[in-house]
Every structure is written in structure tokens, then in C-alpha cells.
Structure 1
Amino acid sequence: MFIIAKTEMTEFIKLSQNWNAEPNAPNPHLELKKSVLELRFFLNPYQFEIYNEGDKGCLQFSDYSRFRFTDINDEAWYKGECRFSTLAPSWGEFYLVQGDFKEQQETTPWQYHVQHDAALNNFLFYFRDCAFECSAKNWSFKLVS
């Protein structure tokens, strides 16, 4: 885990080490399994040679309270239209966001699983055509078929 960007109020810890989403068509989709939320997507075989085209990754969020997909894409991020455009170190990565999550700057509604607990971790994953956000206690990554 590397802290790669920090402002006075917001800190981004890059969690995607040795893996990332396919840059052109990651096709992210969710599966809800009781208190676990699974986010599945195609992995990036161009940046990481250990993966083949069509390999899928799965992020599992345990004890999650809420999630959402926003319509921020790579073009909007580079144009500075995303609430983290000038703060997040890089597009296309998976982060733990600590400190000010700047929720008031994003109007996309949350999907709630349970009442939100502000003490939970806030996760952010930038895909090509959207961003995924989730508040959860823990996360894990695995390769799936």
C-alpha cells in the first residue's frame, strides 16, 4: 500500500498493486451477496503481462453500507470536471480515500445496504466510462473465471 497523494484534507492510498481494470472495456458489474458486495471487471493485460485478455478480477467489500456508480469518465476527469481531478494522483486506479470525501460535490444518489456509518472506509475506482464508490469496512481482490 502506497500513499501517493495527500492534500491537507484528502489522502489517496493506491490499492491496485500489480493489477488494474482493462482500459478500453472493463465492463464493471456488481453482485450482492448478503454483507459482501462484489465488483467484477476485466483486467488489464496490456499493463500487466501476468493477465490474459478476458481475465476478470473481483473486488469484495465486506460489511458495506453503500455504493454508487457516477458518470465521471476519463475525459471529464482530465478536463477537471471530477471532484478529485486536481487531487487524485492518477486516472484508472483503485484508491482508499481518507479524510474529506467531498460528497457534497457529487449528486449521484447512493444505493444503501444498511444505515451508513461514517467510520467506514471510502473506496474509489476510476473505470473508463464511470467511477465506482463504496463505503465498507474491508476489501479484498481475487482473480475469478
Structure 2
Amino acid sequence: MSTQLSFRKLNGGWNAEPNAPYPRVAVSGHDVVLRFLLNSFQFTCFAEEDEGVLRFVNCSRYRLGATNDEGWYRGQCRYSKLAPEWGEFYEIAGPDPHLMDPMDWRIAGGAANPARHFLFYFRDNTFECIAADWVFERASDNALVQRLRVG
């Protein structure tokens, strides 16, 4: 069993818009749905206003906090010295004594069994959740499904 945190990058071939991704969170039953603008500058398969939609299945808790890129680079974030890069989507594994340090966690009501920790760094926000899994939301406006042919 690992005694330190590990970060596995989950967003291959896509990412959030780097300047104004406008992340939004909605609770749907025991799931949490995260919407954000996609990076059409780096990934030209996306149009400028394309949205990505991720569903976090059987989510027990989530947060969309104010930690931003400046705080991360100054070492003011719990994972500043641990996460490989700012602006990416990760699954965090391993014992985390600081998991519950943020005071802005919201209860979503799912059991999250097994509990997995997901983290997405946006320009001016950090999204985290504890959920059983994540999937590309099957929505007609989800450019991740339309353009990447996934899900």
C-alpha cells in the first residue's frame, strides 16, 4: 500500500478553457454534474463555445473552491508541491491527511463506494469530489462526447 499521494491525469486529448472556463456544478440525484468551457486553442477539434460535461457517479461530497492558479504557484494550495501541473484533471490516490481541510465541502448524498478522489484545477477555481466513478455525460451539448466520440 502506498504511503504517499499519487496523481493520475485523466484528461487526455482535451482540457478546460485556460482563461475563462466558467465551471458550473449541479447535483442530479446522488451524482454531481460538472460543466465547463473547453480549450479550443490547444485542442482544435473543439469550437470556441463548446462545453464539456462530466458526471461524477454516486458522489458523497464535492466542492468548487476559490483556490486559483496564483495561489497554486505560490504554494498556498494543499497540493501545490505534489500535483504535477496546474490546470489538469486528476484522480488522487493514497492517504490524504488534509482531504477535509477545506471548509466548503458540500454533501451530495451518495455512498461513493469505493471512494475515489477527483480534482480539476480551473483558472480561478478548484473542483474536487469524492465519488465512485466519473463518466462523460451523455448530453447532446457535451462536446467531449460529440467531438471525441467517447462515452
Q: TM-score, normalised by structure 2?
A: 0.84
| Residue 108 (structure 1) shift | 2.5
Asked if the contact 1:83–1:102 (Cα under 8 Å) also holds between the matched residues in 2, the reply is no
Displaced runs of 4 or more, over 6 A: none
1:32 maps to 2:27: yes
For 2:86, the aligned partner's letter is W
> Measured at CA, do residues 23 and 70 of structure 1 come closer, stay the same or move farther in structure 2, by a change above 3 Å?
same
Aligned to 1:140: 135
For 2:142, the aligned partner's letter is V
| Residue 32 (structure 1) shift | 1.5
Q: Percent of aligned pairs with the same residue?
A: 42
| Residue 31 (structure 1) shift | 1.8
Aligned counterpart for 1:14 among listed residues 9, 14, 28? 9
| Number of residues of Structure 1 aligned to a counterpart in Structure 2 | 139
More strand by share: 1
| Residue 118 (structure 1) shift | 7.6
Aligned to 1:61: 56
Q: Helix, strand or coil: the match of 1:61?
A: strand
> Measured at CA, do residues 98 and 77 of structure 1 come closer, stay the same or move farther in structure 2, by a change above 3 Å?
same
Unpaired segments ≥5 residues, structure 2: 144-151
For 1:78, the aligned partner's letter is Y
Asked if the contact 1:70–1:108 (Cα under 8 Å) also holds between the matched residues in 2, the reply is no
Unpaired segments ≥5 residues, structure 1: 1-6
